[in-house]
Amino acid sequence: MEKFAEVEARLIDASGRQTTDDHKWGDHSLDLWEPFIVRKEQIDAEVKRLSSLARPNNGVRRTYFVHPRAEEGTLSFTPGISCSLDVLNPGEETAFVRQNASVVDFPIQGGGTIVMGDKSFKINQYDLLTVPAMTVHKYINDTDEVQVRLRYSNSPMLERLKVHWLDEDPPLPGQAEYDVTEAAAEKGESPKSPFGTFQLTEDGAFLKPYEELINPQPLEIRPHHWPWDKVKSELDKLANLGAKYKGRRLYLLYDPSTGRTNGTNPNFFSCITIRPGGIVDRPHRHASAAINYYFGGEGHSVVQGKRYEWKAGDLMLSAPGWAIHNHASDVGPVYEMTIQDMPFMINADSLLWQEDLKGPISLLGSHAGFETNRDKVA
DSSP 160-202: HTT---EESS---TTSHHHIIIIIHHHHT--PPPSS--EE-ST
For residues 82 and 72, the answer to whether their CB atoms sit within 8 Å is: no
Q: How far apart are CA 158 and CA 177, in angstroms?
A: 24
Q: How far apart are CA 112 and CA 93, in angstroms?
A: 10
Through-space distance between the first and last CA atoms of the chain, rounded to whole angstroms: 65
pTM above 0.85, yes or no: yes
CATH number at residue 255: 2.60.120.10
Domain count within the chain: 1
> Of 84, 144, 85, 135, which Cα lies nearest the Cα of 111?
144
- 344, part of any domain: yes
Residue 147, H or E segment? strand 147-153
pLDDT tens for each residue of 319-328: 999 999 999 9
For residues 88 and 135, the answer to whether their CB atoms sit within 8 Å is: no
User: What is the mean pLDDT for each group of 10 consecutive residues in the chain (378 residues)?
Assistant: 90 78 53 96 98 97 97 94 98 98 98 95 98 97 98 97 96 75 56 81 95 90 97 95 89 97 97 95 96 98 97 98 96 97 97 96 95 84
For residues 22 and 30, the answer to whether their CB atoms sit within 8 Å is: no
Q: What are phi and psi of 238, to 5 degrees?
A: -75, -15
239: left (phi over 0), alpha (psi -120 to 50) or beta: alpha
- 373, part of any domain: no
- 149, part of any domain: yes
> Of 95, 88, 92, 79, which Cα lies nearest the Cα of 109?
88
> Of 56, 32, 42, 269, which Cα lies nearest the Cα of 152?
269
- 298, part of any domain: yes
- 197, part of any domain: no
- 111, part of any domain: yes
- Which pLDDT score, from 0 to 100, does residue 179 have? 61
Q: Are strands 352-354 and 362-363 parallel, antiparallel or unpaired?
A: antiparallel
- 3, part of any domain: no
Domain of residue 132, residue span: 36-164+220-368
- 376, part of any domain: no
